[in-house]
Chain A
């Protein structure tokens, strides 16, 4: 139900003023009207009654005159003893009185003894049956007959009897005179005077027809009462018209005079007075209304001005002070104006503060960082800022307003849950939500929803990038951790391998020497061979360790990876067996990378072996190669330096796959999922080491039961690929006569080298460390043809020693020997081609062959 509409003040004021004026006025007018009506009605009634009485009196006088007249005649008749005055006298009587049409002298028996004018029909007639004669005799007084309407004249006629003891005089009277009386009566144009006989029949009326037709007014109640002798005044209805009527009875007869006037005419004066009163009232009201209006305007003008000012103020317009401009007559209104100005000033001040606050909040709300929305409880957006629009991928906030926030949730249930939380808990909650942007992408937001009256205010921060960054960082950290772990293990393995290689070099060297001393077939020869075999296996192990720890010297050159893959394909097919389908996916264009082909072959074989073991029930192995680019972030994520381009090798199997845990440890040395004795746990470590040594990266993608994909990224090269065919081996000279400097801090190893070289005919200059080696070379630089320098030595290491020797003799031939790789050299940017590398452990034959090659090199 709507509240009642408030009344307008102007209306109320006017109405009040009117009421104040109206109520007394109406009361006054009402009282006056009542009095006036009563008085006027009384007056009209009195006037009417007076008139009726006057007419009745006149009729009575008229009838009295007739009685006197006939009485004179009777007296005269009695004087003349039974005769009327002589005819002449009677004729004069009749002539003098036109009313008297006939006069008769009746004897005591009721017979007409004399009549004038003469009428043979009447002469001697018996009138004793006439009720009027009987009445007159009985009463002994002049008596009137019932009036009749003469069929001769159409006018009323009546018989008057003046009885006497012997003679009675009967007069036949024409009542035309009644009509004259009626006509004479001044009643106004619409007034009526009617004379009625004793049964209500009309004897005289202005309307002659009523007389002629013997009309009866007996049914008119006023008349009926009058016929029973009751005079009075009342409202009557005559021929359908309401009239004010008065009745009076005529003396001597039971006749009635009815005077009537249409009420309209009878009360005309009253109506006029009423009209005047009404006009006065209306005029008074008009004046009152005018006054009320003026009054209300006077009061309302300043109020309206205030209202206008208030409206202007509300609309934010500049509002001048009210009080100064509109001084009124009313102290209260002036006071109000002053207060209004105070209020306006306060409002302005508050508005400014509000604007400042609003601006401040606006800046907050308009923050590009936080999306803000106000929605109704169903999620319809009532307000949204630009940040939210950006977050939702909409061109502007206008496109968001009016829509349902549910449209933007990947799972609207998230919103329902939050709203439900807010409504039940009554406080804001924070939650991470996934929003679907207009472009279909998903965005992650941190959303805070709070209840604000009937609406909800949501604030959301786009944390998509943050989330991605965090994930990326976690991944990188894991990768780094893994790399560091692998690195550490590698360093450890390298160190072990280096020391072990020294030991193995000695063992193998001495074992070979022993083997030469023990002829084949000798019973001790088997033991020596056993030592050599075990030492060989140990050497393989250390090589693997070195490969993994990237301490294995590389011999890189530009290679077309397609050829490399094709070359190893046959071996892989054999390795995989019948159950595994082998698929190659190679580009048509050459894909060149600078690699050590042997090492890379080892990588592919290791991966193939790994795949085979993952597909015990058969499957498919796909080896693909392609040229690829990586964006810097991806490259960084993989631990790759440089911008590419990259050669990508992919080895994909359909095997049992790996869990994340397994993937994390897959490249760690000695980690294996295979049963004891089935693998060394070095396969993938070696892959990792080799690829990293080539400046590349390896990654694995797998899920349990869905196979695994190993991807290798290598720096692609624009150089032309060389042949993959191995360089022909130089003829193995058994020895030579040249002088060889052996710089080796490990005495056992130095002894093996020197012994082997001397036995093969070389002159050996021994040095115990790098500095010693440089000193010996300076001493005998002309004699020394070749320097064999251990890379790791006290005082000066192999590299430093090499540099020193090269300073002394730039063309000096040098073979570096190391349990590690040739990194030391590479880091210095030395051309490894100019320096031979020997990797421990080293069999004597190998040493001799490499020394011969170095010496024989042009």
Chain B
């Protein structure tokens, strides 16, 4: 056996190399089984795709990324348990949550543990401009509400707006209620808010009926996609003409399937242009389709982007503190649709898109 001794000296080196290749653990916390699971599954899928692509390209600094996913069940307690589990596992950062409510529930934990949370879609204004351990990829609701009230001020000006608010994601919906109320108020308009809680409401038809009874010029639906579709159906059953507006939360691909003709013409904001056919975004679309057998939505794209941002930071520093410093001082990074600016508070500025549904497809508002 002459080969063995000659190879033997390699063993420590191999062991060392193996140590060196210890994967970097990246946490992912998404709502996979509770209400609004559609965002969570998309977020998980987007993050998964990004990690798989990075690893296929050799990892980050020669080390593999390992995505450790936990389900926050859209439940504050479950979310806190999930985040704590990830912190204990030694993840360098956490991608998630997908909703502002869950982000609110665990941000204190992240701050305390000095683990950076990179939320693809949490967008409540209250997270803006804080020196905390949150990086929010999603522009705050304020930009969305400003864009939507601007649109409302256009032809067929909305003076009286009925808002259907789902309290189950109140951190998000309240920001919208406040923003739109303020925006309309500036223009002399007013709002009437009709609240419900997803899954608890006995009948969405009844909720919609109350809103329509307020004789508003338009209805703003702040709910998840299924509820949004259902509410649109209820509204259209009663009033075929009243303009409907929606939030980027509720109006995803699912809303088209569930809403049928009821969602035609609904105007809503999006921070990802899903109609973008630039080579980069098309490649992402195709890869996602191939990987998950379905088209991505904005949540998947943003989650994908969140991992890219973390990877950019990890190339500079692989410690928790170092990663935060690196990301906050990046200035800009390559997102899924061009370069994006990150400010010193970890807030990412991005373009607002006003979209509508025409013939069963989501298209930009002309």
Contact = CB atoms under 8 A, between A and B. Distances in A.
Contacts of B261: 110, 126, 128-129
Interface string B231-256: 00110110000000000000000001
Nearest to A119: B203
B258 A154 contact: no
A151 B34 contact: yes
A239 interface: no
A219 B287 CA distance: 12
Given A129-B260, A129-B360, A218-B291, A120 B206 contact: yes
Given A121-B233, A124-B237, A126-B233, A219 B258 contact: no
Contacts of A128: 260-261
B291 A219 contact: yes
B143 interface: no
| Chain B CB within 10 A, most for which of A121, A198, A218 | A121
B292 A218 contact: yes
Interface string A191-211: 000000011100000000000
- Chain A, interface size: which category? 20 to 34
Nearest to B205: A120
Contacts of A121: 203-205, 230, 233-234
A390 to B, nearest CB: 62
Contact of B71 (A151, A200, A213, A227): A213
Nearest to A198: B293
B258 A151 contact: no
A198 B293 CA distance: 8
Interface in A112-166: 119-121, 123-131, 149, 151-152, 154
B6 to A, nearest CB: 23
Interface string B289-301: 0011110000000
Interface string A80-124: 000000000000000000000000000000100000000111011
A91 B251 CA distance: 35
Given A120-B206, A121-B230, A213-B32, A130 B291 contact: no
A216 interface: yes
A214 B32 contact: yes
B287 to A, nearest CB: 12
* Interface band, chain B: 35 or more
B257 interface: yes
Contact of A129 (B34, B204, B226, B263): B263
Given A121-B205, A216-B45, A110 B293 contact: no
Contact of A214 (B33, B52, B230, B256): B33
A151 B226 contact: yes
Nearest to A196: B293
Contact of A130 (B36, B71, B258): B258
Contacts of B316: none
Contacts of A618: none
Nearest to B234: A121
A345 B317 CA distance: 92
Contacts of A149: 33, 37
B33 A129 contact: no
B236 to A, nearest CB: 7
A837 to B, nearest CB: 120
A214 B41 contact: yes
B293 A200 contact: yes
A231 B234 CA distance: 44
B285 interface: no
Contact of A110 (B71, B205, B260): B260
A351 B233 CA distance: 125
A212 interface: yes
B358 interface: no
B257 A129 contact: yes
Interface string B256-275: 11111111000000000000
For B236, B256, B257, B263, which residue has the most chain A Cβ atoms within 10 angstroms?
Answer: B257
Contacts of A110: 260-261
Interface string B36-57: 1100010001000000100000
B114 interface: no
Contacts of B206: 120
B35 interface: yes
A256 to B, nearest CB: 11
B37 A151 contact: yes
A149 B41 CA distance: 11
B90 interface: no
A835 B65 CA distance: 155
Nearest to A254: B293
A370 B261 CA distance: 138
A120 B203 contact: yes
Contacts of A216: 45, 292-293
B331 interface: no
Contacts of A213: 32-33, 69, 71
Contacts of B293: 198-200, 216, 218, 227
A111 to B, nearest CB: 9
B237 A151 contact: no
Contacts of A123: 205, 237
Contact of B199 (A127, A152, A214, A227): A152
A154 B74 CA distance: 13
B41 to A, nearest CB: 5
Contacts of B263: 129
B27 to A, nearest CB: 15
A129 B37 contact: no
Contacts of B234: 121, 125
Nearest to A151: B35
A200 B206 CA distance: 37
Contacts of B33: 149, 154, 212-214
B258 A129 contact: yes
Given A126-B233, A129-B257, A212 B292 contact: no
Contacts of A130: 257-258, 260
B77 to A, nearest CB: 17
Nearest to A132: B257
Given A121-B230, A151-B34, A154-B33, A126 B260 contact: yes
Contacts of B294: 199
A146 to B, nearest CB: 8
Interface in A675-714: none
B66 to A, nearest CB: 12
Contacts of A218: 291-293
Contacts of A120: 203, 205-206
B34 A200 contact: no
Interface in B323-366: 360
A154 B199 CA distance: 13
Nearest to B30: A213
Nearest to A112: B233
A126 B236 contact: yes
A213 B256 CA distance: 23
A126 B204 CA distance: 15
Interface in A175-204: 198-200
Given A121-B234, A213-B32, A218-B291, A129 B205 contact: no
Nearest to B294: A199
Nearest to B41: A214
Given A125-B234, A127-B260, A154-B33, 7 more contacts: A125-B260, A129-B260, A149-B33, A152-B199, A199-B294, A213-B32, A216-B293
Interface of B: 32-37, 41, 45, 52, 69, 71, 199, 203-206, 226, 230, 233-234, 236-237, 256-263, 291-294, 360
7 closest residue pairs by CB, A with B: A199-B293, A129-B260, A213-B32, A212-B33, A126-B260, A120-B205, A125-B233
Interface of A: 110, 119-121, 123-131, 149, 151-152, 154, 198-200, 212-214, 216, 218-219, 227
25 contacts: A120-B205, A121-B203, A121-B230, A124-B237, A126-B233, A126-B236, A126-B260, A126-B262, A128-B261, A129-B256, A129-B260, A129-B261, A130-B257, A151-B34, A151-B35, A151-B37, A151-B199, A152-B199, A200-B292, A212-B32, A212-B33, A216-B45, A216-B293, A218-B292, A219-B291
